[in-house]
Structure 1
Amino acid sequence: MRIAIAATGAVLFACGAAALAVGLGAFGAPADRPLLDPALARFAGERGWFLPVATGVAEIVALVGQLWLVVQARGVVHRWWPDVDPETRGRAAAAAEDLGRDARAMPGVGDVRVRLTGTADRPRLLVRITCAGDTLISEVYGELGAGPVERYRRAVGMPDLPVVVRFHMAVPRPGRRRRPHLEPA
């Protein structure tokens, strides 16, 4: 969906830039020539309703676009800065350190990132775990849910906090050579 929105935005930006360039006299067009075709200008002049309706539609589209941007920005803000009180935020940071330390102690787990996100009405915990390629994910998931996640929920005071766990495998990328580790002599 983001690719389609970006492509649409790029096309609209290019159309606007081209119209501005033509209006300023680029592409060999005289600058005093009207931007609209004379037939379209005549049509708009003969029908008094055309320009107010076109303006109204353009304003509605612009308003919908601005509302969409506000909703998207709000989502990004809540993803990075949860809408909870400062006391809960402090408890969440301390509990996240404990959860990360406990998860890293599990066999096969390399890196752990913990983040409390969402709003005050709908908070959630995001846990990103990087494991070795031969790690049994089900065992890590079971141990994580039985111990560290429950302790996090108790520490934060949210016993029904939804948790999203994302596992990533730490495998070397193809085509990249690892440099041999040389011991100093």
Structure 2
Amino acid sequence: MLEISKLALPDVLELKPRKFGDDRGFFSETFHRQRLADHGIDTQWVQDNQSFSAEAYTLRGLHYQEPPFAQDKLVRVLRGRILDVAVDIRAGSPSFGRWVALELSARDFNQILVPAGFAHGFLTLEPDTEVFYKVSAHYSPAHDRSIRYDDPDIGVAWPLDGRTPVLSAKDAEAPLLRDIETPFRSEA
């Protein structure tokens, strides 16, 4: 069983796999290709990634890859809690530059599906957080891109409460959305 909910931006979805528990713990199918296909999600996943962030308020993103290595992502948290964010960067989209956020946690056992054409990032809300995600294209350094996490035109409401996030050098130097030429086009 799989519960799928639409979020505020088109094509960004929350997935909740069912857990079967007893006094030993639980079992769950966190990915089932046919069940996803039955819901119209027929993505060919090619790579699994896992990240660990030692500190709370580690921010990774906003990332995307250009075609032909554009990636759909299916993200879940193995330990801890994050605020996961998707930003529509499809030129001509009615929601271009808008963002949606979803809290993912090991406790809530939920996932987010972020399609190609959206920049993706997350902020850890607890120390020792592990994130696992499937992608539909292999990592390609030549196609890897970033947008500033604090781009004022996007205005993501990261729950930093005045703190400075822990960033990579790449993310700290990322360009603004208005300074990139997006390769993605809306089909709307």
TM-score for both structures, normalised by structure 2: 0.20
Structure with greater helix share of residues: 1
Q: Which has the larger radius of gyration?
A: 1
Structure with greater strand share of residues: 2
Q: Which has the higher contact order (CA 8 A, sep 6+)?
A: 2
